Chains A and B, each alone.
Chain A
């Protein structure tokens, strides 16, 4: 056991102390010896305690849960420790006894053994063998425990040591007075015996009392013996004065130098050639040399270099660098941050340059910068930004498309709300809020006809049948079907536009939906609605047309048939406010745009076919690609959505091209072009190629932004239409001008 070993080792320490003291105190050191034994016991106990505490603490550090178990162990240890201590004390006492016996024997045998013993004591004081073991073995216990007993303790074999018969006072006094040496006797209470001090011991006590060295043989004033070996030490140990030869040049060295000089002169010794400097070297080379890694393994980031001084920082810069007095004065008017930090100034010589006042400040700020700014390496992605841009063909290769305004159609007195191009491409009709509808010749921009209306015109559309020349006009609460007198088959037109009596009566019976009337003044057909009509669109065959009256809840979208002069209400109730309605150019579908969605109705099956999720806030306009599978939708926030209806009900592309509300969007019938116009008075022209191959997505390329219209009352371009055959774009502006942009 480690702890017991430790204690065993410690016991001699204690005994050594005891010997020393014993040596010092002489014969009455028994009590003191006992005391030391007690102290040894205590110290060992405390030591063991310390050790245990340390153990437990370390244990508790290691495993806190087993603290109670450790406590039990330590208590066991303690028990073990006490037995050990007792053993040690017994050993010690035995040794003490033995020594005393030896001493007594020595006393008895040799009278002059003092000389031999004292050095032995000196030499062998470390050994515990010379301790005199006491007769009694009770240890360090209060002696009053045995006061009433007949024995004073136990000897080594365990038999009781019986108390001597105590003499009474008188006997002892008599004995003392009889024996002249009685004063030397000291009573040892522990061993219950009389110890007679020897003469030497009394002398020792006397010397102690006198304050001298206890042992007589010890001479404190012995002669000094210099045990130190002074030779072969590296430093001057002598204080002898420096010899003369140290101050005269060495003759030998002189001889050596003379030899070397002669050898050099005679060329026997070749001195090393001076190292040639490289002729060309990198002036700032060491600036770029940066250690790859620092000691702590981090990447080394060199501090950014301050700007090198230029010509203006010269002490005598050229005159053009020195600001004039006016310039210096103007600096005072500038903002603090705009003001130049350094004003160049010329000095005739470098001596006259004063101390730079901002030096400390600038150094400090530089240090602050270096210290406070975190420096980090930017990870640079090595991607050519050009490669991220989708590969689009150049607009130059996609000609023709409208670029330049060549014609202006002047004549309207108010914002032109709607325009429509005749299917032949010869005529342009325009409706304006100045209550007129005008007919223009495209080639010359001549206004050929003007029809006065009863209210502002909202929407206008040509009948798509070639040569018919019927214009549908939406204004206020009616639709007018007007003969523009362009067609060749005037009989058919007049027949179509005359009121059909039977249908008229039928519908007056129906009553509520619409009224088909004859407008005598304009020789037109008039369809009266109950609410304001905002748009009118034709079916591609020219017989059916729709009207949109968003305020009419029950009949927002009406489908009219021109030949039979009948009206149907296909939708009893529509969700949302209807913005625009379009016929599919080929198939029997109807697109109905409400505020946020576009619904596609199958007219043949009379059911909802699709619902397009635009994701826009407010739809303003839509247009269908002439093939019918794609459509574009313009919105109030300036976004344009392209829908590929074969692909998805979500937009194929959303373009945020306008800053303000898109007013109209348009497809070209033959060319792969589409356009949008908005209140920011620009029209954007795009290339929108739809491929017959279903696997290939439509190609959309922005081509041109057309400017030219002016913004009036927050409105820019109100309508745009492509020419039916040429790649030309008509734009109708709120500035009452219609412009024709040509390729």
Chain B
């Protein structure tokens, strides 16, 4: 019987979207049915005759191959006689662990929206800007309590970079940084523009912040169960034209150069702590809460347009994927769930990715790829998921304690911060 199984052959035709030098003949090959990804990768390597063996990943009907070919045929109920079209692509190899960046306290927030800098928020109330070489470029002080969330605008040009931070001292701050990447100053070129805008209005700790791409509109969710939408617009003179502005005395000292800004709009609807907000497609924001719901809000009309009820309290939310329409959220259980709000009348997630062992604290869609998502958990690991497979592409044991935050950086790197006071950077992830 075993001999018979071994002798069983499957007709396989390899296709690829890789450059033409990596193409193999389109004639079908007869391959043993027990081959797995590793065996097929060896076959491709042998066919291409590569000097340096390269791992490949294989897709059948847009599903990553994670079992043997025979089992795949059985589960998908495919005929063994017909020719199987197998697409191959570069496999995502294990990432390279870069130099870890030490903090004084737990790293609670990290953002990697800038290509050269990483911003982290910590429980020691300071925000740090890290350069690519692993040194602190700038440290931003001012919050009275731990930073809970950090959001950075996409840099417009090279000169302006806006950071929004939420803190447990009930405030949101908006930091404007000017990046002068001039030739004479290679290393430190991040300077803080004064005054810092302090957005006060929450009555409890701010748990999450989000901004539109330019950083002109900011929203924040808090433990007081509300979402506040801050409208920040500046005129040419740098004068604040917000709805309600209190200007403090401008002292000579830098700390005093703070501008208090009142709230513009409060979105009420959640019954518990708003744990995550995300700026979705242009005029909407999406929020997740401990009351197990995901709500979409229209920014223009300030109404709750859509509500999804999940099974558990939610801690993190990310909007992305296909057409920036999928909601990925993790919460008080080890399962990362992905909802498609376009499917009407259902609260069941379209994907349930379970591999973690503890609460999920962060999840982020890749900024460009529509199928890759990362998740961080209290079990100390960061996982990289491809929606075409139920098994994570990579599991990175990032931290000794809990992982509190994680983000993509530069498209091929992951940054994560945890309770071991380190910011870890994992690079060289080649996502196809």
A residues near B (Cβ < 8 Å) are: 400, 406-407, 424-426, 443-446, 467, 488, 725-726, 728, 742-743
Q: Is the CB of A406 within 8 A of B358?
A: yes
8 Å CB contact of A406 from B203, B223, B359, B404: B359
Q: Is the CB of A726 within 8 A of B358?
A: no
Q: Is the CB of A444 within 8 A of B419?
A: yes
In the bound complex, what is the Cα–Cα distance between A426 and B273 (angstroms)? 9
CB distance from B416 to the nearest CB of A (A): 15
8 Å CB contact of B378 from A406, A425, A488: A406
CB distance from B289 to the nearest CB of A (A): 11
B residues near A (Cβ < 8 Å) are: 106, 108, 123, 170, 203-205, 223, 271-273, 290-291, 311-313, 315, 332-333, 358-359, 378, 402, 404, 419
Q: Is the CB of A742 within 8 A of B203?
A: no
The secondary-structure label for the interface of chain B is loop
Contacts of A467 in B (CB 8 A): 203-204
In the bound complex, what is the Cα–Cα distance between A444 and B106 (angstroms)? 10
Q: Is the CB of A424 within 8 A of B170?
A: no
Q: Is the CB of B332 within 8 A of A488?
A: no
Q: Is the CB of A742 within 8 A of B223?
A: no
8 Å CB contact of B332 from A406, A426, A445: A406
In the bound complex, what is the Cα–Cα distance between A424 and B404 (angstroms)? 21
Q: Is the CB of A726 within 8 A of B313?
A: yes
Q: Is the CB of A424 within 8 A of B223?
A: yes
Q: Provide a sorted-by-A list of 6 A–B residue pairs whose CB atoms are within 8 angstroms.
A: A407-B359, A424-B204, A426-B223, A444-B402, A488-B170, A726-B313
In the bound complex, what is the Cα–Cα distance between A443 and B402 (angstroms)? 11
8 Å CB contact of A726 from B106, B223, B290, B378: B290
- What 4 A-B pairs come out closest when comparing CB atoms? A488-B203, A742-B332, A426-B223, A725-B272
Q: Is the CB of B333 within 8 A of A742?
A: yes
Contacts of B203 in A (CB 8 A): 467, 488
CB-based nearest A residue for B404: A444
CB distance from A463 to the nearest CB of B (A): 15
Contacts of B358 in A (CB 8 A): 406
Q: Is the CB of B273 within 8 A of A425?
A: yes
8 Å CB contact of A446 from B123, B205, B311, B332: B123
CB-based nearest B residue for A426: B223
Residue in A400, A444, A446, A728 with the greatest tally of chain B CB atoms within 10 Å: A444
In the bound complex, what is the Cα–Cα distance between A361 and B279 (angstroms)? 93
CB distance from B310 to the nearest CB of A (A): 12
Contacts of A400 in B (CB 8 A): 311-312
8 Å CB contact of A426 from B205, B311, B333, B419: B205
CB distance from B228 to the nearest CB of A (A): 14
CB-based nearest B residue for A399: B311
Residue in A424, A443, A467, A742 with the greatest tally of chain B CB atoms within 10 Å: A443
Contacts of A443 in B (CB 8 A): 315
Contacts of B205 in A (CB 8 A): 426
Tally of A-B Cβ pairs under 8 angstroms: 50
In the bound complex, what is the Cα–Cα distance between A400 and B292 (angstroms)? 12
Q: Is the CB of B204 within 8 A of A426?
A: yes
Q: Is the CB of A743 within 8 A of B312?
A: yes
Q: Is the CB of B290 within 8 A of A725?
A: yes
CB distance from A483 to the nearest CB of B (A): 15
Contacts of B332 in A (CB 8 A): 406, 726, 728, 742-743
15 additional A-B pairs beyond A424-B204, A425-B290, beta carbons within 8 Å, are A406-B359, A407-B359, A407-B378, A425-B272, A425-B273, A445-B402, A446-B123, A446-B419, A467-B203, A725-B271, A725-B272, A726-B272, A742-B332, A742-B359, A743-B333
CB distance from A665 to the nearest CB of B (A): 24
Q: Is the CB of B272 within 8 A of A488?
A: no
In the bound complex, what is the Cα–Cα distance between A424 and B270 (angstroms)? 13
In the bound complex, what is the Cα–Cα distance between A725 and B359 (angstroms)? 18
CB distance from B255 to the nearest CB of A (A): 20
CB-based nearest A residue for B311: A400
Contacts of B123 in A (CB 8 A): 446
CB distance from B296 to the nearest CB of A (A): 23
CB-based nearest A residue for B402: A444
CB-based nearest A residue for B271: A725
In the bound complex, what is the Cα–Cα distance between A260 and B149 (angstroms)? 123
Contacts of B223 in A (CB 8 A): 424, 426
CB distance from B226 to the nearest CB of A (A): 13
CB-based nearest A residue for B203: A488
CB distance from B203 to the nearest CB of A (A): 5
CB distance from A598 to the nearest CB of B (A): 33
Contacts of B271 in A (CB 8 A): 725
Contacts of A728 in B (CB 8 A): 332
Residue in B108, B223, B291, B402 with the greatest tally of chain A CB atoms within 10 Å: B223
CB-based nearest A residue for B333: A742
In the bound complex, what is the Cα–Cα distance between A742 and B290 (angstroms)? 13
Contacts of B312 in A (CB 8 A): 400, 742-743
In the bound complex, what is the Cα–Cα distance between A609 and B311 (angstroms)? 43
In the bound complex, what is the Cα–Cα distance between A400 and B223 (angstroms)? 22
In the bound complex, what is the Cα–Cα distance between A743 and B311 (angstroms)? 10
Given the known A-B contacts A424-B204, A725-B272, are A446 and B290 also in contact in the complex, defined by CB atoms under 8 Å? no
Contacts of B378 in A (CB 8 A): 406-407
In the bound complex, what is the Cα–Cα distance between A446 and B378 (angstroms)? 12
CB distance from A490 to the nearest CB of B (A): 11
Contacts of B402 in A (CB 8 A): 444-445
CB distance from A570 to the nearest CB of B (A): 36
CB distance from B149 to the nearest CB of A (A): 12
In the bound complex, what is the Cα–Cα distance between A406 and B358 (angstroms)? 6
CB-based nearest A residue for B123: A446
CB distance from B304 to the nearest CB of A (A): 20
Residue in B332, B358, B419 with the greatest tally of chain A CB atoms within 10 Å: B332
In the bound complex, what is the Cα–Cα distance between A442 and B252 (angstroms)? 40
Contacts of B204 in A (CB 8 A): 424, 426, 467, 488
Q: Is the CB of A446 within 8 A of B106?
A: yes
CB-based nearest A residue for B275: A443
In the bound complex, what is the Cα–Cα distance between A660 and B172 (angstroms)? 50
CB distance from A4 to the nearest CB of B (A): 117
In the bound complex, what is the Cα–Cα distance between A354 and B315 (angstroms)? 83
Contacts of B419 in A (CB 8 A): 444, 446
CB distance from A311 to the nearest CB of B (A): 33
CB-based nearest B residue for A405: B358
CB distance from A493 to the nearest CB of B (A): 14
In the bound complex, what is the Cα–Cα distance between A400 and B313 (angstroms)? 11
Contacts of A725 in B (CB 8 A): 271-272, 290-291
Residue in B204, B223, B291, B313 with the greatest tally of chain A CB atoms within 10 Å: B313
CB distance from B358 to the nearest CB of A (A): 6
Contacts of B106 in A (CB 8 A): 444, 446
CB distance from B174 to the nearest CB of A (A): 21
CB distance from B431 to the nearest CB of A (A): 30
In the bound complex, what is the Cα–Cα distance between A53 and B194 (angstroms)? 147
CB distance from B387 to the nearest CB of A (A): 26
CB distance from B171 to the nearest CB of A (A): 11
CB distance from B187 to the nearest CB of A (A): 34
